[in-house]
Every structure is written in structure tokens, then in C-alpha cells.
């Protein structure tokens, strides 16, 4: 079956989001659970930087809402708010972020992931469910370490699908 280039690009884009969501809810052994990075956040930030005409605040919000529904115990709308904000910042800075050397880019992404977690922490703190352990912040650090790999994989995908 031949897909038109546009459909092909769309398929790859949605496929990468679906994969990120599955990775985000995949059951892990409990000792690994703390190290699970914000997969959806990483993929979303990549596309906001690489294809801001296609992926933006609305996409982030929708992805966050899907996560909220899947997590079940989370407040409905919390991750939607977080992901929309992250997408907004990534879009605003996408020109600078593209020019950064890779390690500097990874640091900036870590700050973005950190901001996302900070929003979750604030909202959960406001309803008295704030996590009190330091391990709450490990996903941002894991995200920092994983960024070069995520970037390489998604850039490959983008070039293959000719997503602009």
C-alpha cells in the first residue's frame, strides 16, 4: 500500500506519540519505576522544536489529557496543563534550541522537564498529595541523559518521513 507523503508523515508522527504513551504506562519492576523518564514530554518537546507548524500547545494538551485518563488516579487535566505549558515553552524557544550544541540542548530540555514536574508538584501540593521524596526528581535527570538518544531516533524518523 502506498501512502501519500503527507499521510506517511502523519502516521510516523502519531506513531511516535503512541509509542511514548505506551512507554509511559508500561508496567516496570518497582525499582525501575523511579527512573522512568517523561517519555511523552521528551517526544513532545522534540516535535515542538523540529516541527512547530504541526505540533504545538494543542497537541501537548491532548496528549496530557490522554495521560490523565490512562493514569486514572491523577487529577483530570493536570498533565494536560503541564504538557501544554511545556509545549508552549519549547515552541517559543525552538529556534534557539535548534542552534544549541547537543549537550546544551539536553540541559535546556532537562530544565523544561523540571518545569513540567514542578507544575505537577505544585498542583498536587495544593490538594495535599505532594510527593515528599527526592526520587520524585529523578525522571528529569534520566530525561537529560536520554535526550541525545531520543533526539537521534526521532531525527531519523523525521528525515525518513520528511516531516516538516
Q: Does residue 78 touch another protein according to CB under 8 A?
A: yes
**Binding test (CB under 8 A) with another protein, winner from 11, 14, 15, 77:** 77
- Contact of 161 with 10, CB cutoff 8 Å: no
Radius of gyration of the chain (CA): 16
Q: What track of x and - describes contact with another protein for positions 42 through 71 (by CB under 8 A)?
A: --------------xxx--x--xx---xx-
Residue identified by cell 526528581 is: 137
What are the two backbone dihedrals, phi and then psi, of residue 76, each rounded to the nearest 5 degrees? -70, 120
Judged by beta carbon, residue 59 or residue 105, the one nearer another protein is 59
**Binding test (CB under 8 A) with another protein, winner from 73, 99, 134, 164:** 73
- Contact of 5 with 162, CB cutoff 8 Å: yes
- Contact of 142 with 36, CB cutoff 8 Å: yes
- Residues in contact with another protein by CB under 8 A are 21-22, 25-28, 56-58, 61, 64-65, 69-70, 72-73, 75-78, 80-81, 84-85, 88, 91-92, 123, 127
Amino acid at each position: 500500500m502506498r501512502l501519500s507523503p503527507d499521510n506517511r508523515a502523519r502516521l510516523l508522527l502519531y506513531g511516535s506519540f503512541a509509542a511514548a504513551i505506551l512507554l509511559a504506562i508500561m508496567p516496570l519492576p518497582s525499582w525501575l519505576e523511579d527512573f522512568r523518564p517523561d517519555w511523552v514530554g521528551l517526544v513532545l518537546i522534540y516535535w515542538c522544536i523540529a516541527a512547530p507548524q504541526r505540533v504545538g500547545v494543542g497537541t501537548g494538551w491532548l496528549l496530557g489529557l490522554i495521560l490523565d485518563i490512562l493514569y486514572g488516579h491523577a487529577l483530570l487535566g493536570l498533565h494536560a496543563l503541564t504538557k501544554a505549558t511545556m509545549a508552549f515553552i519549547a515552541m517559543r524557544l525552538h529556534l534557539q534550541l535548534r542552534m544549541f550544541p547537543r549537550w546544551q540542548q539536553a540541559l535546556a530540555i532537562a530544565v523544561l522537564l523540571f518545569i513540567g514536574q514542578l507544575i505537577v508538584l505544585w498542583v498536587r501540593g495544593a490538594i495535599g498529595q505532594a510527593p515528599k521524596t527526592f526520587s520524585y526528581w529523578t525522571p528529569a535527570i534520566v530525561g537529560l541523559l536520554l535526550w541525545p538518544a531520543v533526539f537521534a531516533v526521532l531525527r531519523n524518523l523525521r528525515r525518513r518521513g520528511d516531516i516538516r
